[in-house]
């Protein structure tokens, strides 16, 4: 039993017409008219494949193919249809349409699974129009409450609740509490590892934990000419040393540590005044929670030492901690088994990005399947994947879901 590669590819290309950009990418921001068009097309295809459609209050869509025993919790797959402003044709969409292709293939082969099969579309995964990312799968998993989710607003002040009403996807199902027997998400890797290792399938075991910080250093503004070097409290010199330390900490936690200062504001930012204040951010990631904690401790010690050397006061706040995600043994095993049975080259891999699956893992056994993307590039209009890799990942998804839905 195998999926239809040409049909999957055609569906991906048809969906990519909705919000198509001149450079071959896609702009389909969450809860815009284009998002509605994409959702409508998905729902139409699912109905044609014999599924029933339901929508919850966050606009999450569930397309259900009945099983022999409809009292069993469904085996679910899915991802997202929204994109970045200069996004590609595969991020998210691939996981949704791979789910649809699984349903179509089960129909082709006349397979009746024991448990029902569902394909989910999670609202606003990207977090581009409405922050934060993965907000609707987060509400589903109890990470955020419903009011918080619906009140997220875009830059024009329009809320998710209002926009769901406007596009007709404010459903009536409660968000979450829906039993899920197992959840699988297929996704492009969005990184360079599978391509570099020439592997077709990434069996995703973990997703990186993250800690985000905001740091404000306060020294003393003074004239750049008359103030001797020895008595300065230069906040930017302190910050510069800290940036180097953050980078050193990332490098010292090989191979998975990631450490980034991506934003830095200098006050007063004037060429002949010693900087009195600097604000900057730190983004730490690691798939090992202990190592992430160690990075935190090393950074705090370094920041304190550098601040003391330069007579700076420090305000250091951790604004976010997303713990390491360990996907479920049963689901990772089902992906591994399917990959081996089908004879695809594969490797175990850690997700560097967040996905809806990371939240769903909190409420249901979850696993992920990665396929390579060209040059590891994603969140970009040139994002690309091959039809044969898309089909390979979809075949693994099919067999993993059938195994989970008959158990």
- Decide: 191 and 371 in contact? Cβ < 8 Å: no
**Shortest distance (Å) from residue 373 CB to Zn ion:** 11
Instruction: Please say which residue, 310 or 379, places its beta carbon nearer to Zn ion.
Output: 379
Question: How near is the Cβ of 154 to Zn ion at its closest, in Å?
Answer: 19
Closer residue to Zn ion (CB): 92 or 209: 92
**Residue 378: C-alpha distances to residues 235, 328, 348, 374 (Å):** 36, 26, 20, 9
Output the smallest distance, CB 385 to Zn ion, in A.
13
Rg of the chain over all Cα atoms, to the nearest angstrom? 24
E strand residue ranges, 189-276? 201-207, 209-218, 222-223, 258-260, 264-267, 273-274
CB of 260 to Zn ion, least distance (A): 20
> Of 15-23, 87-95, 199-207, 252-260, which segment contacts Zn ion by CB under 5 A?
87-95
Q: Which is nearer to Zn ion, 67 or 92 (CB)?
A: 92
CB of 92 to Zn ion, least distance (A): 4
Q: Which of 390, 392, 358 is nearest to 135 (CA)?
A: 358
Nearest to 371 by CA among 395, 405, 342, 343: 395
Binding to Zn ion by CB under 5 A, coded x per residue (else -) over 39-78, reads: ----------------------------------------
CB closer to Zn ion, 137 vs 200? 137
Among the residue ranges 89-97, 207-215, 245-253, 303-311, the one whose residues contact Zn ion (CB under 5 A): 89-97
Q: Is 120 in contact with 77 (CB distance < 8 Å)? A: yes
Phi first, then psi, for residue 354 (nearest 5°) are -80, 150
Distance CA 367, CA 183 (A): 6
Alpha-helical (H) ranges within 33-158 are: 33-48, 93-108, 135-140, 146-150
Taking the complex as a whole, how short is the minimal distance between the CB of residue 124 and Zn ion, in angstroms? 11
What whole-number distance in Å separates Cα of residue 361 and Cα of residue 86? 29
Region of 86-94, 106-114, 127-135, 204-212 interacting with Zn ion (CB under 5 A): 86-94
Residue 191 CB, nearest distance to Zn ion (Å)?
12
- Least distance (Å) from Zn ion to the CB of residue 165? 25
Q: State which residue, 237 or 368, has the beta carbon closest to Zn ion.
A: 368
Nearest residue to Zn ion, using CB? 92
CB of 355 to Zn ion, least distance (A): 6
**Cβ proximity to Zn ion, 121 vs 235, nearer residue:** 121
**Residue 383 to residues 24, 86, 91, 181, 372: CA-CA distances in angstroms?**
9, 10, 8, 32, 11
| Least Cβ distance, residue 83 to Zn ion (angstroms) | 9
- Smaller CB separation from Zn ion, 90 or 144: 90
Query: Contact between 189 and Zn ion (CB under 5 A)?
Result: no
Q: Mark 131-159 as b/e (b = at least 16 C-beta within 10 Å).
A: eebbbbbbbbbebbebeebbebebeeeeb
Q: CB-wise, 76 or 405, nearer to Zn ion?
A: 76
For residue 6, what are the CA distances in angstroms to 149, 217, 388? 37, 57, 9
As a 3-state breakdown, the chain gives helix, strand, coil percent values, each rounded to 5, of 35, 25, 40
Instruction: Count the residues of the shown chain that bind Zn ion, applying the rule CB under 5 A.
Output: 2
Closest CA to 149 of 131, 162, 135: 135
Q: Which of 91, 234, 296, 298 binds Zn ion (CB under 5 A)?
A: 91
Nearer to Zn ion, 49 or 81 (CB): 81
**Residues 89/23, Cβ–Cβ less than 8 Å:** no
35-43, 91-99, 143-151, 195-203 -> range binding Zn ion (CB under 5 A): 91-99
In the bound state with Zn ion, the residue whose beta carbon lies nearer, of 91 and 383, is: 91
Residue 215, both tokens = 């740091």
Binding segment (CB under 5 A) for Zn ion, from list 84-92, 218-226, 342-350, 379-387: 84-92
Residues in 92-111 at the binding interface with Zn ion, rule: CB under 5 A:
92
Give me the residues that bind Zn ion (CB under 5 A), please: 91-92
């Amino acid at each position: 039993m195998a999926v239809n590669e040409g049909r999957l590819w055609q569906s991906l290309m048809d969906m990519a017409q909705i919000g198509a950009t001149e450079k071959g990418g896609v702009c389909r921001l969450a809860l815009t008219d284009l998002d509605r068009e994409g959702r409508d097309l998905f729902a139409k295809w699912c109905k044609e494949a014999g599924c029933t459609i339901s929508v919850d209050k966050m606009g999450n869509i569930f397309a259900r193919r009945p099983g022999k025993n409809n009292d069993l919790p469904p085996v679910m797959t899915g991802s997202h249809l929204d994109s970045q402003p200069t996004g590609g044709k595969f991020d998210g969409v691939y996981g949704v349409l791979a789910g649809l292709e699984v349903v179509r293939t089960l129909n082709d082969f006349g397979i009746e699974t024991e448990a029902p099969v569902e394909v989910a579309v999670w609202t606003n995964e990207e977090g581009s129009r409405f922050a934060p990312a993965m907000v609707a799968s987060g509400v589903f998993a109890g990470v955020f409450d419903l009011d918080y989710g619906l009140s997220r607003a875009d830059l024009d002040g329009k809320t998710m609740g209002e926009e769901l009403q406007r596009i007709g996807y404010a459903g009536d199902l409660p968000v979450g509490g829906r039993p899920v027997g197992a959840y699988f998400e297929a996704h492009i890797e969005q990184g360079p590892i599978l391509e570099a290792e020439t592997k077709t399938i990434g069996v995703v075991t973990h997703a990186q934990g993250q800690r985000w910080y905001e740091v404000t250093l306060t020294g003393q503004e003074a004239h750049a000419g008359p103030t001797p070097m020895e008595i300065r409290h230069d906040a930017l010199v302190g910050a510069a040393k800290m940036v180097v330390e953050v980078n050193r900490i990332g490098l010292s936690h090989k191979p998975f540590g990631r450490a980034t200062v991506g934003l830095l504001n200098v006050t007063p930012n004037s060429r002949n005044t010693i900087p009195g204040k600097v604000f900057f951010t730190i983004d730490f990631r690691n798939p090992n929670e202990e190592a992430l904690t160690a990075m935190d401790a090393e950074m705090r010690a370094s920041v304190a030492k550098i601040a003391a050397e330069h007579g700076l006061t420090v305000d250091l706040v951790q604004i976010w901690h997303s713990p390491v995600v360990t996907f479920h043994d049963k689901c990772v095993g089902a992906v591994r088994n399917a990959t081996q049975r089908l004879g695809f080259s594969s490797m175990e891999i850690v997700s560097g990005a967040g996905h809806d699956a990371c939240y769903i893992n909190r409420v249901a056994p979850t696993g992920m399947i990665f396929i390579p993307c060209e040059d590891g590039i994603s969140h970009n209009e040139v994002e690309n994947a091959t039809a044969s890799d898309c089909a390979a990942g979809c075949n693994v998804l099919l067999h993993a879901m059938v195994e989970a839905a008959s158990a």
